[in-house]
Structure formats: structure tokens, C-alpha cells
Amino acid sequence: MATDAPPPSKAEHQLPPTEEFVRVQESAEFGELRRSHRSFAFPLTIAFIAWYLLYVLLSNYAGDFMGTKLFGNINIAFVFGVAQFVTTFLIAWWYSRHAAAKLDPKAEAIKSRMEGGA
């Protein structure tokens, strides 16, 4: 099976020294990358956990409410349960878009500078 990728380089790849990693980690650019990730991930994680706990608490303590039929055999508990899965996939999709637009370019710039020794 042929591929279009070039063969791996035979040259030994040297990692930057530890001091270089520390310098990059302490840089403003890396701090901005970390802030960008945290400002997206932490609030969304807290919101999802709150949403999940609401579902669990309502299931345990509000059985009559959760058992309310909406149509046919579909009740509020079923709709909330399906919404948990939908929410999970939406968050994953949203994070993927955020990472591609905001995080990956910054991370790639840092990585290329470290690999290039600039």
C-alpha cells in the first residue's frame, strides 16, 4: 500500500533542554493559551456537572414530576435522559471547534518555535 507521506527522517531529533521548556511555560504566550483553554473548559464543565446533578436529584426526589407523561409513553425523565446524551455530544463538538479555532494555532506556534530552536 503506497502513501503520499515522505519517509521518516533518519536524523536524530534532539529535544530542547529543560530550561527551554520552563521558559516557554512561564511565557505570556503559553499563559494566554492556558487561559484560553481554562476559560472555555472550566465553566462548561461546571455547567454540565450542575445539569447532570439536577437530573439525578430530580430523578431521586421529584419522582412525580419526572414521571409526568408528555406524550404516549414518553415522560420528562426520558426526555432529560436523552438530553444528557445530546448535551455531551454538543459540548464535545463545541470544544472541538473552539480548540481548532483558538487553541491549536497558538499551540502549534509554540511547538514550531521549540522544535525550530527559535
43-63 residue pLDDT tens: 999 999 999 999 999 999 999
Q: For the packed helices 28-61 and 18-25, what is the interaxial angle rounded to 10 degrees?
A: 70
20 and 114 in contact (C-beta within 8 Å)?
yes
Which residues make beta-bridge pairs with 69?
Answer: 75
Task: Decide if 43 is inside a domain.
Answer: yes
Task: Decide if 16 is inside a domain.
Answer: no
Q: pLDDT tier at 20 (50, 70, 90 boundaries)?
A: confident
Task: Decide if 32 is inside a domain.
Answer: no
Task: Decide if 75 is inside a domain.
Answer: yes
Task: Decide if 68 is inside a domain.
Answer: yes
Phi-psi region at 72: left, alpha or beta (left = phi > 0; alpha = psi -120 to 50): left
Q: pLDDT tier at 113 (50, 70, 90 boundaries)?
A: confident
Beta strands in the chain (DSSP E): 69-71, 74-75
Q: What is the pLDDT of residues 6-19, one digit of tens each?
A: 766 655 567 777 88
Task: Decide if 29 is inside a domain.
Answer: no
Return mean pLDDT, the chain. Answer: 88
For CA atoms 72, 78, 80, 84, give the dihedral sign.
negative
Identify the helix (H) or strand (E) that includes residue 65: helix 63-66
Task: Decide if 17 is inside a domain.
Answer: no
Structural domains counted in the chain: 1
Residues spanned by the domain of 99: 39-116
pTM: 0.73
